[in-house]
Amino acid sequence: MPIPAHDRYAYSPITARPVYDWPGGKRLAVYVGVNLEWFAFGEGLGAELVPGGSQPDVLNYAWRDYGNRVGVFRLAELFAELSWPVSLLVNAQMTEHAPQTISAFAGAEIVGHGRTNSERQGDLTEYRELKLIEETTADIEKHFGRRPLGWLGPWISQSPVTPDLLQETGYTYLLDWCHDDQPIWMKTRAGRILSVPYPQELNDIPQIVARKREGEEFACMILDAFEVMQAECEKRPLVMGIALHHYIVGQPHRFKHLANALRHIAGRAGERVWLTTAGEIAAHAAQLPSGTVP
């Protein structure tokens, strides 16, 4: 008896694919996704520093709010110092409640990230999920004057039709699937959409919040991954993503270690290393000759 399958993409070993370059002959594309998230007070979802009590859960709500008030600006100043472009994964509610956090990153790419991280889109009916995508897109476009082309679901949440809805509403790539180190085309009911690798290992929520690792160890993980991928990219093009949340790595004792790791990587730019955004990766992959990207 066959087991359920998604039918979005076929199995493809990375060692059997065409080899190509990123712009300028680079082989390792490194991007950082900074999550800018707004949370409901007294209800809904949210990462926890400690197990939450009864609502309103002031301790965990205020811990997350620290990121929007303080931690985010540490990150913005660091990326400005490094001249490193950033992909901002933006809850649409941020444009209303904390627009300064977005404008702090000059020239950043804006990626749609739902209305708020107090909800999961995968729990919704198709109609309500479509409305969530449309509302998020409209709010971001109204604020920035341009619509996002990339999407990351709040809590990496997808329904069975999410890729279809994103492609049908004009999105060209998504970040939710962490199944590869290269971009991959995914089938949709009306065409296709590009999957750009988004990290669940080099991600401060799974590592620091869930696995209770601290800033120094997280920074070491980033450097170890970079070392391995920098060597491997001589064989094939790779994408290395780093996912950050300002209320976690924006804390001073963690920020110190993160900054050291990113300064090290920035110092290697030009050695086959491309410091870029998720959108630039998607745009380059999409224009490659047919059959290059599986």
Query: Which ranges of the chain would DSSP assign to H, the alpha helix?
Result: 58-66, 72-82, 93-97, 99-103, 126-144, 162-168, 204, 215-232, 246-249, 252-266, 278-286
Q: Is 90 exceeded by the pLDDT of residue 2?
A: no
In sign, the C-alpha dihedral spanning 162, 163, 167, 173 is: positive
pLDDT digits (tens, 9 = 90+) for 226-236: 999 999 999 99
**Beta carbons within 10 angstroms of residue 268's beta carbon:** 15
Determine the pLDDT at residue 210: 93
167, amino acid identity: Q
Determine the pLDDT at residue 292: 98
Please tell me whether residue 112 adopts helix, strand or coil conformation: strand
**To the nearest whole number, what is the mean pLDDT of the chain?**
96
Strands 109-112 and 87-90, by their bridges, are: parallel
What mean pLDDT is predicted for residues 250-279? 97
Structure token digits, residue 207: 């590592």
Residue 52's pLDDT band, with cuts at 50, 70 and 90, is confident
Q: Is-contact 86 277, C-beta < 8 A?
A: yes
Determine the pLDDT at residue 130: 98
Give percent of the chain with pLDDT exceeding 70: 100
Q: Is 90 exceeded by the pLDDT of residue 258?
A: yes
Determine the pLDDT at residue 188: 98
Distance CA 111, CA 37 (A): 12
Determine the pLDDT at residue 286: 98
What is the model's pTM? 0.96
Question: Looking at 14-28, 49-63, 207-221, 247-261, which range is the least confident one?
Answer: 49-63
Determine the pLDDT at residue 10: 95
Q: In order of start, what are the domains of the chain with their CATH numbers?
A: 27-44+52-286 (3.20.20.370)
What mean pLDDT is predicted for residues 111-140? 97
Q: Is-contact 18 93, C-beta < 8 A?
A: no
pLDDT digits (tens, 9 = 90+) for 133-144: 999 999 999 999
